Chain A
């Protein structure tokens, strides 16, 4: 079978000598899915933009890109326009900016059809409706007349896919198609992509940093590093028998939702800047298997075995000795803490939330504002955290986890309910004691760029909380803090932007630790980081917790990270807690249908498991928190509700479930009238036995 797309020795250089892509070659055949994996800056997106001919004019492109044997590079724009969207189409990461806001979705889809096919307006619109139906948009006739902003993120991405397959393309390029979406929506979209591929028989190039997504979708995988492919092969070979230290490190550094214990294996350092690459192998400075020869010449991509290519001079050795990532990478040792041996009941409570409520008024009108509704952002949640414990608050966007955090951090009297921090009720604090309490309650933000004042040297940033609480001699303490999080003392005089994302997050952690707090609130602390960097930060957090006896309130949407870091977990849905309990209980025996769906939606970085797994795919989107469903809030999307009898359903509609402790568990509760524990994640040991 001849390949649809052949890319040969593609290079892209931007002005200023920035070599974004340095010799990429791959082929995609009909019906095949090629996954391109790499961290940010590895050149994976630039490669696909070069294939589409969408790079700015000042980029110098060489090599060859052939579609059905026709050269695309250097083709003039008129011809290229006929190919783009017809033979190749692309799905972008951000579906909001990919649609024109002033035209309806149906019109835009019809336009895509009419550009490449000679059909009438009515017929094109009919085709648009068919396409929307195909990608699973409910009531397509009505929704086709809606504008992009009336669609939710997941729906928009579906519409984007509909547009991409409008002309039965031979090749679909998906650039991080699910990165901006929640996991349950991601599962839906991946499902739609598979349907789309089945319908059109197209080849797919799937670009992502998420190794879980690739494991479930791809047939072959191309791993990129610093603008070059470093390893290529069938998906099973790459995942089970990696031959390049970088791939090994990447696989070892991802936290897994099926829960292997022990610290993650981080890759030290950061990817090189494309402006000044090292002379030898670009990965050499971070590689634990580095020898002198690595730094002399960049290893070429050589073929080993059937369709496998590796760019590493020691790949033969890795194959002979059958080395795995734990042999290659030093596994960090995290000292255990003493406090964890004390039973939970005997430890002091550091944070307690009792029926916390936060509603926002929904206002309308410019001059005379009137209240038109209420957003039930947080609607009565209770949990507690004891000394030395990590509680994770998980849920999809819009479930109220950030509002909960803000309520805790503000230390103001809540609308309803109680917030008790270290035994002090936030409603009874005066100004001085509130400030004093802030010493013990600190926060680490999600985005390490936005959380640090760009105009402040790092030393000042770390010293700020110390000075705010009246400490005079801070320079020694700043150095100590920087060293605690793995930075050097001389970094104090630099500005945040001179640091990489992982280092910036470490600065944020150093600032939070400056006052030696007892409770640390972590707002998605690793979600903005690349996987290889993420592992280092997770390990650091774990180590600090054990060393300093901290308690964490950890907010995340990534359930794999949560499993790794947390002791207990609370799952939130639409402002309420759906399920709460120890990590083992909730992950291994989830009782609430929402938790079950959430856990089953997470892609595992394991192709074998991904193929055999059965997914619970939720229908539809999160209902608006301004108008939550009556009774159980989850019932509109609940797979269990659909299976219940008419009589049983009435209870879900009329009565709002509260968190009830499950009969046979010590620390496990679910807010479901018909809670039932089932297992949704295949245990990893089962597979090893096979």
Chain B
């Protein structure tokens, strides 16, 4: 019943509709777009270094003659997955750890929060620097996991404190008296009532992950040249943003479009889940 009602509300929601269409177009662009360009992302055009957008190179070229259109889309393929996956993993982890700690209290709470505090205190950068050489040859998806592992702690603390008040609500008590297992109560009654917070957190995490990945790549972890991501492109382009704006405008424009579409979907989902909104 709930999923049916929420889905119906989501479909009716205008923001969610536009957001999904935008995201779908971006994904299509990232994966289908390269087939329409004249250049592969590995190609280098030695006749055109740093040339502005033209009929030949639609989005211009880089210092070493790479076609901006091709490499931006290549970067986007990576970044969409990194952003979405990191946000999903981080927020889910935050919700589960926070809700379990807050709901059960006692030693569960103490152990989980001890772990959270430990992760907060540890310099995440250092850990990633130590771990990533070992992941050099492993799939870059491990990198996503690594990014997510250091992005959820503060949210989970917020989730925990909200759960502390939610668990005293009468409907939670009612569920307990009905004989519903504890973990089911958490997923059915506690987490949905935190959804507004979690959705906002997830949408923020998407852009955070894309930018964070760029910072790490800069130091030699994560996506390594010649491979690219939106983050590395933006980091490089930012240096020449005034002289050669196309190096910066296209990748960052794509990031903004990506984040915007995710925000729209998030807002729509929040409204669909929140019975208080009038959509």
Does chain A bind chain B?
yes
Is B122 among interface residues, defined by CB-CB distance under 8 A?
no
Residue pair B178, A497 in contact (C-beta under 8 Å): no
Q: In chain B, what residue has the closest Cβ to A406?
A: B173
Q: Which residues of B contact A443 (CB under 8 A)?
A: 174, 177
B191 to chain A, nearest CB (A): 10
Residue pair A497, B276 in contact (C-beta under 8 Å): yes
B76 to chain A, nearest CB (A): 35
Q: In chain A, what residue has the closest Cβ to B178?
A: A465
Given A455-B192, A460-B2, A493-B1, are A468 and B180 neighbors across the interface (CB < 8 Å)? yes
**Chain A proximity mask over B86-117: 1 for CB below 8 Å, otherwise 0:** 00000000000000000000000000000000
Is A94 among interface residues, defined by CB-CB distance under 8 A?
no
Residue pair B192, A456 in contact (C-beta under 8 Å): yes
Residue pair B275, A498 in contact (C-beta under 8 Å): yes
Q: Which of B5, B189, B193, B195 contacts A457, CB < 8 Å?
A: B5
**Chain B proximity mask over A522-543: 1 for CB below 8 Å, otherwise 0:** 0000000000000000000000
A292 to B62 Cα, complex, angstroms: 81
Residue pair A511, B195 in contact (C-beta under 8 Å): no
Residue pair B170, A463 in contact (C-beta under 8 Å): no
Residue pair B174, A511 in contact (C-beta under 8 Å): yes
Is B179 among interface residues, defined by CB-CB distance under 8 A?
yes
Residue pair B1, A492 in contact (C-beta under 8 Å): yes
B226 to chain A, nearest CB (A): 48
Residue pair B193, A453 in contact (C-beta under 8 Å): yes
Q: Which residues of A contact B177 (CB under 8 A)?
A: 409-410, 438, 441-443
Residue pair B1, A460 in contact (C-beta under 8 Å): yes
Q: Which residues of B contact A441 (CB under 8 A)?
A: 177
Residues of B217-248 contacting chain A, CB below 8 A: none
A466 to B52 Cα, complex, angstroms: 66
Residue pair A450, B171 in contact (C-beta under 8 Å): yes
A464 to B179 Cα, complex, angstroms: 10
Is B201 among interface residues, defined by CB-CB distance under 8 A?
no
Total A-B contacts with CB atoms under 8 angstroms apart: 72
A495 to B180 Cα, complex, angstroms: 21
Q: Which of B5, B171, B274, B276 contacts A451, CB < 8 Å?
A: B171
**Chain B proximity mask over A431-452: 1 for CB below 8 Å, otherwise 0:** 0001100110111011100111
Is B70 among interface residues, defined by CB-CB distance under 8 A?
no
Residue pair B179, A468 in contact (C-beta under 8 Å): yes
Is B12 among interface residues, defined by CB-CB distance under 8 A?
no
A151 to chain B, nearest CB (A): 26
Residues of B183-208 contacting chain A, CB below 8 A: 184, 188-189, 192-193, 195
Residue pair B1, A451 in contact (C-beta under 8 Å): no
A468 to B275 Cα, complex, angstroms: 24
Q: Which residues of A contact B192 (CB under 8 A)?
A: 453, 455-456
Is A282 among interface residues, defined by CB-CB distance under 8 A?
no
Q: Which of B169, B170, B175 has the most CB of A within 10 A?
A: B170
A492 to B1 Cα, complex, angstroms: 9
Is A454 among interface residues, defined by CB-CB distance under 8 A?
yes
Is B265 among interface residues, defined by CB-CB distance under 8 A?
no
**Chain B proximity mask over A487-498: 1 for CB below 8 Å, otherwise 0:** 000001101111
Q: Which residues of B contact A497 (CB under 8 A)?
A: 275-276
Residue pair A453, B178 in contact (C-beta under 8 Å): no
Residue pair A453, B189 in contact (C-beta under 8 Å): yes
Is A469 among interface residues, defined by CB-CB distance under 8 A?
yes
Residue pair A464, B175 in contact (C-beta under 8 Å): yes
Residues of A591-628 contacting chain B, CB below 8 A: none
Residue pair B5, A435 in contact (C-beta under 8 Å): no
Q: Which of A460, A469, A492 has the most CB of B within 10 A?
A: A460
Is B151 among interface residues, defined by CB-CB distance under 8 A?
no
Residue pair B179, A456 in contact (C-beta under 8 Å): no
Q: In chain B, what residue has the closest Cβ to A460?
A: B1
B190 to chain A, nearest CB (A): 10
Q: Which of B2, B170, B175, B189 contacts A447, CB < 8 Å?
A: B170
Residue pair A453, B171 in contact (C-beta under 8 Å): yes
Q: Which residues of A contact B193 (CB under 8 A)?
A: 453-455
Ordered nearest first, which 10 A-B pairs have the shortest CB separation? A495-B275, A438-B179, A451-B170, A435-B179, A459-B1, A450-B170, A460-B1, A455-B192, A453-B171, A445-B170
| Interchain residue pairs with CB less than 8 A apart (20) | A409-B177, A439-B179, A441-B177, A442-B178, A443-B174, A447-B170, A450-B171, A451-B171, A453-B193, A455-B193, A455-B195, A455-B273, A456-B189, A457-B1, A457-B5, A459-B1, A463-B1, A464-B180, A495-B275, A511-B174
